[in-house]
Amino acid sequence: MPVVKVKDDHGKTMTLREVEGCYLPLIRVPYDQEEEFLGRMDWTARPDDILICAYPKSGTHWVWEIVCMLLNGNAERIHLMKEMAMLECLSRSALDSMTSPRVLNTHLYFGQIPEDFRQKKCKVVYILRNPRDVAVSFFNHHTRLLDYEYSGDWHQYLPRFIEGKVDYGSWFDYVMDWENAMNRNQLNPTHVLTYEDLQKDCVKEVGRLATFLKAEGTASLYQDIVNQCNFKKMKKEKDPLEDATEWKDDQPGMYRKGIVGDWKNWFTVAQSDMFNTVYRERLKNTVLPAPYDQ
């Protein structure tokens, strides 16, 4: 996969990989990433596989931890990075060697997921988050993770985010793709979560998720899982394999604030109005499970 320097209107570049017309992050793996990624459509799924799907910075790791705990029936943290169960970071042999049930995650579009996951009717957990908060979180991710080599400021970044000149492309394209896929796809049972609902009443949402997964437990277990997956606790403990040298000032930045509404501290009134206009125009024919048009 060629490494590309993606310019914005201000001449600022972001270092990404380009494959099949889409952008991916520079993923450090001990195998030929291009060969594995291009061969993924022939990968074999298992009927009990679970796919957690979301645009970046929408709560993927949070939900991945919760799902793993529900299936394990305990509230113990998973001593792995979610990237080790991420489709676009895996090789076929690594995927095949995982024990079942496999809890996988991805930021890929529906059509980029291996076909067998549809044929085996694998369960999908789909996460939505307010795109304004996503943009702020992604900006901090891009400016702090060294591999991106990005030095733009917030004013320069927001148009880039809207235009999709970032890994995984436009948030608008992503949610429209998944909305269309859920409307037309009759194979994969799908459960929709929102970041905001998880923040508002996490115990309730964990219970709903458990019912979907047929991994029901006790109210006490749900509360223990919520306590273990508390953002401040996860940030303090960090990922056990996260490499601090990949981040500016040797300070891992996968976890930042984990709150709802931080975008209000970043968007100017003019930026907010502009974003609302783009949102309503781009999604005028789409009805999201959770509308974010204000």
Domain 3-282: give its CATH code.
Answer: 3.40.50.300
For residue 246, pLDDT beyond 80? no
Spans of all domains in the chain: 3-282
Q: Give pTM, 2 decimals.
A: 0.91
DSSP string across the chain:
--EEEEE-TTS-EEEEEEETTEEE-----SS-HHHHHHTGGGPPP-TT-EEEEE-TTSSHHHHHHHHHHHHHTS-PPPSS-GGGGBGGG--HHHHHHSPSSPEEEE---GGGS-THHHHTT-EEEEEE--HHHHHHHHHHHHHHBGGG-----HHHHHHHHHHT-STT--HHHHHHHHHHHHHH--SS-EEEEEHHHHHH-HHHHHHHHHHHHT----HHHHHHHHHHT-HHHHHHH--TT--GGGBGGG---S-S---S-GGGGT--HHHHHHHHHHHHHHTTT---SS----
The whole-number average pLDDT for the span 258-286 is 93
The encoded tokens of residue 56 equal 């970046």
pLDDT band with cut points at 50, 70 and 90 for residue 294 = low
Percent of the chain with pLDDT over 90: 69
Report the mean per-residue pLDDT for the chain: 89
Q: What is the pLDDT of residues 181-235, one digit of tens each?
A: 988 877 789 999 999 999 999 999 999 999 999 998 999 999 999 998 876 655 5
- The pair phi, psi for residue 190, each rounded to 5°, is -130, 135
For residue 1, pLDDT beyond 70? no
Residue 250, pLDDT score: 47
Please name the residues in contact with 270: beta carbons below 8 A apart, sequence gap of 6 or more. Answer: none
Known active-site residue 79: no
Q: What is the pLDDT of residues 91-142, one digit of tens each?
A: 999 999 999 999 999 999 999 999 999 999 999 999 999 999 999 999 999 9
Please name the residues in contact with 102: beta carbons below 8 A apart, sequence gap of 6 or more. Answer: 46, 48, 49, 50, 85, 95
257 compared with 262, residue with greater pLDDT: 262
Q: Which of the residues 10, 61, 107, 142 is marked catalytic?
A: 107
Lowest model confidence (mean pLDDT) among 58-72, 121-135, 232-246: 232-246
Lowest model confidence (mean pLDDT) among 18-32, 135-149, 169-183, 227-241: 227-241
For residue 172, pLDDT beyond 70? yes
For residue 248, pLDDT beyond 90? no
